[in-house]
Structure 1
Amino acid sequence: MSEAYSPADQHDGIDPDMADATETPASISEGTGVVPMNMIQALNSALAVKMTEDPNVLSFGEDTGFFGGVFRVTDQLQQKHGLTRSFDAPINESGIVGAAIGMAAYGLRPVVEIQFADYIYPAYDQIVSEAAKMRYRSGGQFSTPIVVRSPYGGGIFGGQTHSQSPESLFTHIAGLKVVVPSNPYDAKGLLTAAIEDDDPVIFFEPKRLYNGPFDGWHQKPISPWKSQPEAQVPTEKYVVPIGEAKIVREGSDVTILAWGTMVWVSLAAAEHAGVDAEVIDLRTLVPLDIATIEASVKKTGRCVIVHEAPKTSGYGAELSALVQERCFYHLEAPIGRVCGWDTPYPHAFEWEYFPGPERVATALKAVMTGGAR
């Protein structure tokens, strides 16, 4: 029986010269082809580099051709690569993903954009029943190397139908990989790895971080990205391997697990809460780097999980179970979760809904005293 995922040795996309690609090269000069980029530019660069390198890579979606996408991630790709490599699709998410699955089975590597993650549900059956199952169902004869890109999360006043965080719906599906970058450097490297991967990848892009990071404590934007080391991005190809988390702040008191926008909130909380917190950016939800998580929690003895999606059945519940199973005898307090509310996305109370640094700081202090939340 075939495995749900491709064998690891089939992935030959990691450049051996970028063996340390998981670390941001803060000291590389621009003379080596490293320039400041925001996340939009970094994602665009990944697409442009791969489309130039591999004629089987193509990009399409709603308004992604001539216009370059509503967030401009696919800007100039049609002008550079032509109408057959970068083109517009009808407002038909199931058709977009269905066409991509057929292309992938034929031997192409399509990268499709779902304009907002909230629009992905009409394509859910195609993703779950076809893309995720193709390798297993065909006994390994066919694979679906597609990337489904989509902006997700709130923070731009998009309202209830433009601000959802549905990542947990895809982490439950065997055969899918789920990736969420938190900065431009990782965004380019992870998207490159996703395009080269032989399995379908759901690639969620936190649109709150598209144009720059923010002061996580005061919830105010910091512009531009170029002042941040994470925004120093090589113009050439490099890969950040899928399945490797990154410790973005070392600490000894408590481990914070976060991804996407919540990495920045967690960093702000760690700096202001008076707690020596270790912050781990998961980067990839499936496959999960459980070894890094386990080592950190066994060191600190405490764990707080932060995500923007609603709490009930969110991905934090899976993380909590895994930490409890592997680190039970090392835990000195119950595992804390700081999440969105169990409600539809509340446009009028957007900033109250977000797990803010004050809520994260409260959770950190609670686990430090052994209290449950």
Structure 2
Amino acid sequence: MPKWTMIEAIRDALAIALRDDPRVLVFGEDVGKNGGVFRATDGLQAEFGEARVADTPLAEKAIVGTAVGLAMAGMKPVAEIQFLGFAYEAMDQIAAQLARIRFRTQGRFTAPAVIRAPYGGGVRTPELHSDSLEALFAHTPGLVVVTPSRPYDAKGLLLSAIRSPDPVVFLEPIRLYRAFREEVPEGDYQVPLGRAAVRREGSDVTLVAWGPTVPVAESAAAQVASRGISCEVLDLRTLAPLDRSALKASVEKTGRAVIVHEAVRYAGLGAEIAASIMDLAFYHLRAPIERVAGLDTPYPPPALEDAWLPSVTRVVEAIERVMED
């Protein structure tokens, strides 16, 4: 079994989907001849041709609008937004069209498109390239929102997203693209949407994370383990719909919760998760829920991003606070 990076796993998923279903189309800025800014589509245009792997103008509205029309006509478009911050340009197409087609037509039409986008910080990008906007999409009824934290899941979740009857926003953590390798099956497989995964078993504190913050949570859990604190790391994987059963089971076991995400803290997805924990496991809580998140400012210049992003140190401090109660 090969050991692949996340970017290699994503490319393989796209190749499998293109071979398996002639309705699948891949398009976006520079995805064809250049193979994408991160090379996620490298070689796909040469294999499948310009009609199925197409370069587009620099126009996010047109990219997503085209995906909506193709999906409604029975195709399976996989459109790339080059960086998630550029999705502001296409929010009308995503939130007012893609997400609402089924509701607006009372089920007569749907638009099962996939919108792929790299996101997240830690790689010294310019403005609007590192924004974590997952809460905008999770707050939009009609969208499935997915983000992997490792190569195996990236491939399986992307194949599930392409084959889903629902529109999916598929968020790919930039700093995990080539961060590590793991064994990934070469064949076709799917990881179910809507199900979280326990990355580390624990009994004292639940660390809830997704995408780029999962390795941060895992490192914090390993650090406090030497002091006898047992942390369970829950990787949500799908942000909408949320795996409330997994949240409930983990927090009922540990009695404490720390939520870690890169997006700004105020009205971030961590607040919804905290409210869900209060609904589901209030009487099991031994301490107030902690949130470790980005600061309530626009994403900073590269020289300041280490101070802005959730760090292992900040997560450890949050773990220590919940353990005091």
Output the TM-score relative to the length of structure 1. 0.85
| Secondary structure, counterpart of 1:256 in structure 2 | strand
Q: Distance in 2 between matches of 1:179 and 1:95?
A: 23
The unaligned stretches of length 5 or more in structure 1 are 1-33, 213-224
2:322 corresponds in structure 1 to 367
2:261 aligned with 1:307, yes or no? yes
Residue 191 of structure 1 and its aligned partner are, at CA, apart by: 0.2
1:238 corresponds in structure 2 to 189
- CA RMSD for the aligned pairs? 0.7
Residue 64 of structure 1 and its aligned partner are, at CA, apart by: 0.5
2:207 aligned with 1:256, yes or no? yes
Q: Distance in 2 between matches of 1:72 and 1:356?
A: 28
Please list the CA deviations of residues 254-273 of structure 1 after superposition, one character each: whole Å capped at 9, or x if unmatched: 10100011100001001112
Q: Distance in 2 between matches of 1:290 and 1:174?
A: 17
Q: Distance in 2 between matches of 1:309 and 1:105?
A: 32
| Secondary structure, counterpart of 2:47 in structure 1 | helix
2:313 aligned with 1:346, yes or no? no
| Secondary structure, counterpart of 1:234 in structure 2 | coil
Which of 281, 287, 300 is residue 235 of structure 2 equivalent to? 281
Q: Distance in 1 between matches of 2:295 and 2:49?
A: 44
Q: Is the 8 A contact 1:159 1:345 kept in 2?
A: no
2:271 aligned with 1:317, yes or no? yes
Q: Distance in 1 between matches of 2:60 and 2:164?
A: 22
2:53 corresponds in structure 1 to 86
The unaligned stretches of length 5 or more in structure 2 are none
Which of 284, 293, 302 is residue 330 of structure 1 equivalent to? 284
Q: Distance in 1 between matches of 2:248 and 2:32?
A: 43
Q: Is the 8 A contact 1:181 1:205 kept in 2?
A: yes
2:310 corresponds in structure 1 to 355
Q: Distance in 1 between matches of 2:309 and 2:122?
A: 9
2:20 aligned with 1:53, yes or no? yes
Please list the CA deviations of residues 41-74 of structure 1 after superposition, one character each: whole Å capped at 9, or x if unmatched: 0000000001000000010000001111000001
Q: Distance in 2 between matches of 1:235 and 1:75?
A: 17
1:207 corresponds in structure 2 to 174
Q: Which amino acid aligns with 1:307?
A: H
Residue 287 of structure 1 and its aligned partner are, at CA, apart by: 1.1
Q: Is the 8 A contact 1:254 1:364 kept in 2?
A: yes
Residue 160 of structure 1 and its aligned partner are, at CA, apart by: 2.4
Q: Distance in 2 between matches of 1:112 and 1:366?
A: 43
2:88 aligned with 1:110, yes or no? no
Residue 326 of structure 1 and its aligned partner are, at CA, apart by: 1.2
1:297 corresponds in structure 2 to 251
Q: Which amino acid aligns with 1:342?
A: D
2:151 corresponds in structure 1 to 184
Equivalence map 1:160-171=2 (5 Å): 160-171=127-138
2:99 corresponds in structure 1 to 132
Residue 162 of structure 1 and its aligned partner are, at CA, apart by: 1.0
Q: Which amino acid aligns with 1:99?
A: T
| Secondary structure, counterpart of 1:297 in structure 2 | helix
Q: Which amino acid aligns with 2:245?
A: A
Q: Is the 8 A contact 1:181 1:187 kept in 2?
A: yes
1:143 corresponds in structure 2 to 110
1:19 corresponds in structure 2 to none
1:267 corresponds in structure 2 to 218
Q: Distance in 2 between matches of 1:262 and 1:129?
A: 30
Q: Distance in 2 between matches of 1:40 and 1:248?
A: 21
| Secondary structure, counterpart of 1:44 in structure 2 | helix
Q: Which amino acid aligns with 2:192?
A: P
2:110 aligned with 1:153, yes or no? no
Could you list the structure 1 runs, at least 4 aligned residues long, displaced by more than 6 angstroms after superposition: none
Q: Distance in 2 between matches of 1:160 and 1:318?
A: 27
Q: Distance in 1 between matches of 2:3 and 2:253?
A: 35
| Secondary structure, counterpart of 2:118 in structure 1 | strand
Q: Distance in 1 between matches of 2:155 and 2:85?
A: 23
Q: Distance in 2 between matches of 1:352 and 1:263?
A: 18
Please list the CA deviations of residues 319-347 of structure 1 after superposition, one character each: whole Å capped at 9, or x if unmatched: 00010111111101000000000011112
Output the TM-score relative to the length of structure 2. 0.98
Please list the CA deviations of residues 148-203 of structure 1 after superposition, one character each: whole Å capped at 9, or x if unmatched: 00000111100322111000001011100000000000000000000000111000
| Secondary structure, counterpart of 2:274 in structure 1 | helix
2:43 aligned with 1:76, yes or no? yes
